[in-house]
């Protein structure tokens, strides 16, 4: 009997009291818990108790601790998590406030093997934890299937609720709370640590395009493996108080993302965010034009011309409209 392939589970936590319960639930619900390895970036407030006390000496858990005042958003934390991999076969990125479905580890590997290519990245918006016992809710999955908005201010992939497919379905983007792939995908297309406080445009849209242009195909899962808490964190007020410059740096990160995709010149990128653009740029297996065509959009030259005219692509309107008028 062959040993189950190892799975590295990436968990970035910001003063999150639920993180220990997430690790425990992952182990309890796995079909083969011995295959699991966890990499946790724990961004900690010294006033808190140790939320990971039960896992300090756990042989399957690697913890990188840092003061919460040094945090710079989810992308840096998840980059640190990925750096804790030690040759595992698969990579699984989740939120620190997650709960799992029975045999989730086996189902992830099974879905991957159902994909028509070994260069597959499986990702979709997970259900809410509160929906885990509601069959009608669980009959559907959040499918990242279209470009919702492309403008001078935002780059967003839209998701739509679709019935769970019989096998993983081709997709266009990622949910950062639920990404499963061979570890080789993360080695080849690593998480960009130079987008402080970057959110959807950096972590989801830009990373999806980077995967695509490096020759990795994106898929929506065909069954649920994890659920997450979508409610606003009770620590949000602390975050906003500690990270007063977050919005400013998030805007600068957006410009870095625009440059990587070809929308902004290098001199528009903040000097501190120009590092390692060759490492975290697009691949050469396919072009961004190929991605735009897959999304039903015109080639890059036309997109840039429309943006220069002050227009924005709005999927709801299925048209180029005045920037700022979209819903």
Evaluate whether 157 touches 208 at the Cβ level (below 8 Å).
Answer: yes
- pTM for this structure? 0.95
Query: For residue 308, what pLDDT band results from cuts at 50, 70 and 90?
Result: confident
Please list the residues that pair with 93 across neighbouring strands: 10, 179
Beta 169-170 vs 311-314: how paired, if at all? Answer: unpaired
Q: Which two tokens stand for residue 294?
A: 């897959």
φ, ψ (nearest 5 deg) of residue 92:
-135, 115
Query: For residue 317, what pLDDT band results from cuts at 50, 70 and 90?
Result: confident
Q: Which SS3 state, helix, strand or coil, does residue 85 take?
A: coil
**Does residue 233 have a pLDDT over 80?**
no
Distance of CA 143 to the CA centre of its chain: 14
Output the CA–CA distances (angstroms, integers) from residue 182 to 179, 276, 317, in the order listed: 10, 23, 37
Domain range for 53 is: 7-228
Region of residue 144 (left: phi > 0; alpha: psi -120 to 50; beta: else): beta
Closest CA to 179 of 287, 94, 101: 94
Q: pLDDT over 90 for what percent of the chain?
A: 76
Query: For residue 29, what pLDDT band results from cuts at 50, 70 and 90?
Result: very high
What integer is the mean pLDDT of 20-30?
Answer: 98
Residue 255 lies in a domain: no
pLDDT of residue 327: 52
Residue 159 lies in a domain: yes
**Total count of residues recorded for the chain:** 327
pLDDT of residue 325: 67
pLDDT of residue 159: 81
- The string of DSSP letters for 36-50 reads EEEEEEEEE-TTS--
pLDDT of residue 157: 76
83 vs 299: CA distance, rounded Å: 35
Please tell me what DSSP assigns to residue 126.
Answer: P
Query: For residue 28, what pLDDT band results from cuts at 50, 70 and 90?
Result: very high
Residue 99 lies in a domain: yes
pLDDT of residue 102: 98
pLDDT (tens digit per residue) in 192-222: 999 999 877 778 999 999 999 999 999 999 9
What integer is the mean pLDDT of 103-117?
Answer: 98
Considering Cα of 164, then 115, then 143, then 250, what sign does the dihedral take?
positive
Evaluate whether 137 touches 195 at the Cβ level (below 8 Å).
Answer: no
Residue 109 lies in a domain: yes
**Does residue 326 have a pLDDT over 70?**
no
**Does residue 2 have a pLDDT over 70?**
no
CATH number at residue 213: 3.90.550.10
Please tell me what DSSP assigns to residue 220.
Answer: E
Residue 243 lies in a domain: no
**Does residue 164 have a pLDDT over 90?**
yes
What integer is the mean pLDDT of 25-52?
Answer: 97
**Does residue 1 have a pLDDT over 60?**
no
Closest CA to 36 of 96, 77, 110, 91: 91
Residue 91 lies in a domain: yes
Q: Which two tokens stand for residue 301?
A: 């030259």
pLDDT (tens digit per residue) in 247-303: 999 999 999 999 999 999 999 999 999 999 999 999 999 999 999 999 888 898 988
Residue 313 lies in a domain: no
What's the number of domains the chain is made of?
A: 1
220 vs 205: CA distance, rounded Å: 15
10 vs 93: CA distance, rounded Å: 5
**Does residue 149 have a pLDDT over 90?**
no
In the block, which residue shows the tokens 């959040």? 142
Question: Of 87-91, 148-152, 239-243, where does mean pLDDT reach its minimum?
Answer: 148-152
Residue 141 lies in a domain: yes
261 vs 247: CA distance, rounded Å: 21
Q: Hey, which of 2-16, 104-118, 304-318 has the most confident mean pLDDT?
A: 104-118
């Amino acid at each position: 009997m062959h040993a189950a392939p190892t799975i590295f589970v990436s968990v970035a936590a910001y003063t999150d009291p639920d993180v220990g319960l997430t690790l425990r639930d992952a182990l309890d619900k796995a079909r083969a818990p011995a295959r699991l390895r966890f990499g946790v970036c724990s961004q900690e407030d010294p006033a808190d108790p140790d939320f990971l006390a039960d896992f300090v000496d756990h042989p399957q858990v690697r913890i990188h601790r840092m003061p919460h005042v040094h945090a710079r958003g989810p992308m840096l934390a998840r980059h640190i998590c990925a750096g804790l991999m030690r040759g595992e076969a698969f990579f699984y990125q989740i939120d620190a406030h997650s709960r799992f479905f029975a045999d989730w580890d086996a189902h992830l590997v099974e879905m991957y093997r159902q994909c028509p290519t070994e260069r597959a990245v499986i990702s979709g918006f997970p259900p809410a934890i509160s929906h885990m016992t509601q069959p009608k809710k669980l009959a559907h999955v959040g499918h990242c299937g279209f470009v919702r908005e492309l403008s001078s201010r935002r780059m967003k992939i839209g998701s739509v609720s679709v019935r769970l497919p019989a096998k993983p379905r081709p997709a266009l983007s990622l949910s950062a709370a639920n990404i499963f792939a061979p570890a080789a995908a993360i080695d080849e297309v690593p998480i960009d640590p130079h987008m402080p406080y970057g959110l959807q445009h950096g972590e989801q849209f830009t990373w999806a395009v980077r995967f695509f242009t490096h020759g990795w195909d994106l898929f929506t899962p065909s069954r649920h493996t994890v659920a997450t808490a979508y409610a606003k964190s009770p620590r949000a007020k602390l975050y906003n108080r500690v990270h007063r410059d977050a919005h400013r740096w998030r805007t600068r990160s957006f410009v870095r993302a625009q440059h990587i995709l070809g929308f902004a010149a290098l001199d528009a990128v903040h000097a501190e965010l120009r590092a390692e653009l060759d490492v975290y740029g697009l691949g050469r297996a396919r072009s961004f034009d190929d991605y735009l065509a897959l999304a039903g959009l015109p080639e890059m030259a036309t997109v840039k011309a429309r943006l220069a005219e002050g227009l924005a692509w709005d999927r709801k309107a299925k048209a180029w409209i005045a920037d700022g008028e979209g819903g």
